[in-house]
Amino acid sequence: MNQSSDSYEVRRVIAQHDASGVAQFIDQVLPCVPLGPNGSRTVLLWVTDKTPADNMDARDLAQSFAGITPAAGTALRIIDISPSETTAMHRTLSVDYVMITKGSIDLELEGGATKTLHRGDVVVQRGTNHRWVNRSGEWAQMLAIPVSAMPVLIDGRRLDEIHF
């Protein structure tokens, strides 16, 4: 993310085909939005509304999507978590591929189990209730790719989404 004193933004480059089938670039800068009371922020880079995705669909769903995970697709986002920030406990109906790209951060599960993750570590989040806690004293950054999934069923009980 490009950082200045009062704005944060990400450059998004899309490679796609024009109407005649020639590959082309779309080059844009997207603003980050606040996430939490301590300066954390996120930017949603791309969303699909089905899997497999349709590369002929030119819609930019990231511009109109509200939520964490699409009901039947994928999302791509960058999340910056400020020092001392803790997200709310939450669960999504998705498999999330999360890579720590900067700093370190704790992933805490609802039962209290915690793992400290560092730059380059990858988490496969499979529908668990969890939160992110930055105890490092420095900014942490994650690249998250949630993919819609079937709900988790435990002894016939459906574990629904919990949003923050």
* pLDDT bucket at 82, cuts 50 / 70 / 90: very high
Distance, first Cα to last Cα, the chain: 24
> Any idea where the domains of the chain sit in the sequence?
32-150
Q: Which two tokens stand for residue 129?
A: 């209730």
Q: Give CA–CA dist 126/122, Å, rounded.
A: 13
**107-119 pLDDT per residue, tens:** 999 999 999 999 9
Q: Which two tokens stand for residue 31?
A: 């603003």
**137-164 pLDDT per residue, tens:** 999 999 999 999 999 999 999 998 887 6
Give pTM, 2 decimals. 0.90
Q: Which top CATH class is 32-150? A: mainly beta
For residues 72-99, average pLDDT = 96
For residues 26-48, average pLDDT = 95
